[in-house]
């Protein structure tokens, strides 16, 4: 029903905008603003401010949720951010903040993200630790070509051309604190108890204590089975879910896992280890692991060989 109302309002506002003596159709700026106004009306959005930086040229609307602090962000700053995104026609939604996690130079935003996000952070959000809701006109989103693959009729397959966007944006102030919050929320949501927090921020649980006196180190090779998953349940590595040969510890596991294995990894042991992002794939990410993503490892060790 909301989508029908939005479509009706958009058509009405666009038609009124077009009824001018000096032209027959609205400009893209007028069309975008009509689309955003209709969306706000349909969804009862209030207290949004229009970005008036440089003479009100961006067409962005924003609402600060949490104010940040410190020095204002510059285009030369690297930032860690999480976001959600929804096209205003309701056909595309990306709401997973585990996957929607970026580490980037504010002055250079990849083509997969809308230009309006960069402007919104610089002009409106301004500080680390802040969050906001941001309405981005299509000309500062993905333009007339849209984004993604497949038919525009497929939900979440593609953002249609000339679609304005509704985004939630949070620029993280302290990644270490944020990682710890993500991990604790994950454990709470999944009923995980009995974990110990190590000095480096890794959480671990010895499910089965090993019986061997052999001590594992970063130069060891191990025969084991293990799984690795993001905090949203996405599998990172299932290659060794059922069996493995002898694996080199240093090239198989990230630092956070190695640190725990060196103290608690024994033949016959079973461990669950949740590592913060800085002890895993870090700010760059790797494979399906996005930047700044904690990862959970569940490991069963059957043999250890030291050089």
| 6 and 19 share one domain | yes
- List C-alpha distances in Å: 144 to 28, 112, 280: 10, 15, 39
156-181 mean pLDDT: 95
Residue-wise pLDDT for 52-76, tens only, equals: 998 878 999 999 999 999 999 999 9
Q: Please report the pLDDT score of residue 78 as a whole number.
A: 97
Give 241's pLDDT tier (boundaries 50, 70, 90).
confident
Q: Which of 121, 116, 123, 124 is nearest to 143 (CA)?
A: 116
**d(C-alpha 34, C-alpha 38), whole Å:** 6
- pLDDT top residue among 244 and 123: 123
Mark which of 171, 197, 221 sits at the end of a domain. 171
Q: Where are the alpha helices (DSSP H) in the chain?
A: 2-18, 28-42, 53-56, 115-120, 175-189, 249-252, 255-264
Q: Please report the pLDDT score of residue 17 as a whole number.
A: 43
48, with CB counted inside 10 A (0-12, 13-18, 19+), is middle
193-206 mean pLDDT: 98
**d(C-alpha 240, C-alpha 143), whole Å:** 44
Mark which of 147, 171, 195 sits at the end of a domain. 171
Residue 158 β-bridge partners: 148
Give 243's pLDDT tier (boundaries 50, 70, 90).
low
**d(C-alpha 197, C-alpha 200), whole Å:** 8
**d(C-alpha 6, C-alpha 86), whole Å:** 14
Q: Please report the pLDDT score of residue 21 as a whole number.
A: 36
**d(C-alpha 292, C-alpha 277), whole Å:** 5
Q: Please report the pLDDT score of residue 270 as a whole number.
A: 96
| 243 and 261 share one domain | yes
Q: Which of 16-30, 138-152, 157-171, 218-232 has the lowest mean pLDDT?
A: 16-30
| 115 and 210 share one domain | no
177-190 mean pLDDT: 98
| 105 and 208 share one domain | no
Q: How many other CB atoms sit within 10 Å of the CB of residue 178?
A: 20
Domain tally for the chain? Answer: 2
Residue-wise pLDDT for 90-128, tens only, equals: 999 999 999 999 999 999 988 789 999 999 999 999 999
122-146 mean pLDDT: 97
Mark which of 171, 201, 221 sits at the end of a domain. 171
**d(C-alpha 46, C-alpha 225), whole Å:** 53
236-255 mean pLDDT: 84
State percent of the chain over pLDDT 90. 78
Domain range for 234 is 175-305
CATH number of the CATH domain containing 33? 3.10.50.40
Q: Count of H helices and E strands in the chain?
A: 7, 16
| 213 and 288 share one domain | yes
Q: What is the pTM of this model?
A: 0.86
* 277 HSE (CA, 13 A, CB side): 26
Q: φ, ψ for residue 145 (rounded to 5)?
A: -85, -20
Q: Please report the pLDDT score of residue 2 as a whole number.
A: 53
The CA R_g of the chain, rounded to the nearest whole Å, is: 24
| 285 and 184 share one domain | yes
| 132 and 267 share one domain | no
Between strands 61-66 and 131-136, the pairing is antiparallel
| 254 and 124 share one domain | no
Q: Which two tokens stand for residue 196?
A: 């110990």
Residue 18 pLDDT > 80:
no
- List C-alpha distances in Å: 18 to 10, 30, 31, 87: 12, 9, 9, 23
Q: Please report the pLDDT score of residue 255 as a whole number.
A: 96
Residue 23 pLDDT > 70:
no
Q: Please report the pLDDT score of residue 215 as a whole number.
A: 82
**d(C-alpha 269, C-alpha 261), whole Å:** 10
State percent of the chain over pLDDT 70. 90
């Amino acid at each position: 029903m909301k989508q029908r109302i939005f479509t009706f309002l958009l058509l009405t506002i666009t038609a009124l905008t077009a009824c001018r003596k000096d032209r027959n159709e609205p400009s893209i700026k007028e069309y975008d603003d009509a689309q955003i106004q209709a969306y706000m009306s349909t969804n009862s959005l209030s207290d949004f401010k229009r970005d008036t930086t440089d003479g009100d040229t961006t067409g962005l609307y924003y609402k600060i949720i949490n104010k940040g602090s410190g020095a204002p962000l510059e285009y030369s700053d690297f930032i860690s951010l999480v976001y959600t995104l929804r096209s205003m026609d309701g056909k595309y939604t990306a709401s997973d903040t585990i996957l929607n996690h970026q580490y980037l130079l504010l002055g250079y935003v990849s083509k997969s993200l809308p230009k309006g996000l960069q402007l919104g952070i610089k002009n409106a959000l301004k500080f680390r630790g802040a969050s906001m809701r941001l309405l981005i006109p299509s000309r500062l989103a993905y333009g007339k070509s849209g984004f993604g693959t497949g038919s525009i009729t497929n939900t979440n397959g593609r953002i249609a051309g000339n679609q304005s966007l509704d985004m939630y944006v949070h620029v993280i102030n302290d990644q270490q604190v944020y990682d710890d919050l993500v991990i604790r929320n994950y454990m709470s949501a999944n009923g995980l108890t009995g974990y110990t927090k190590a000095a480096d921020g890794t959480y671990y649980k010895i499910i089965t204590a090993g019986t061997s006196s052999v001590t594992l180190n970063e130069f060891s090779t191990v025969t084991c089975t293990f799984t690795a998953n993001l905090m949203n349940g996405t599998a990172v590595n299932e290659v060794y879910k059922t069996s493995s040969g002898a694996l080199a510890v240093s090239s198989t596991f990230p630092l956070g896992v190695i640190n725990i294995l060196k103290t608690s990894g024994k033949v016959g042991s079973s461990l669950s280890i949740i590592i913060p992002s800085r002890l895993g794939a870090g700010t760059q990410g790797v494979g399906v692991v996005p930047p700044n993503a904690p990862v959970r490892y569940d490991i069963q060790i059957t043999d250890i060989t030291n050089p």
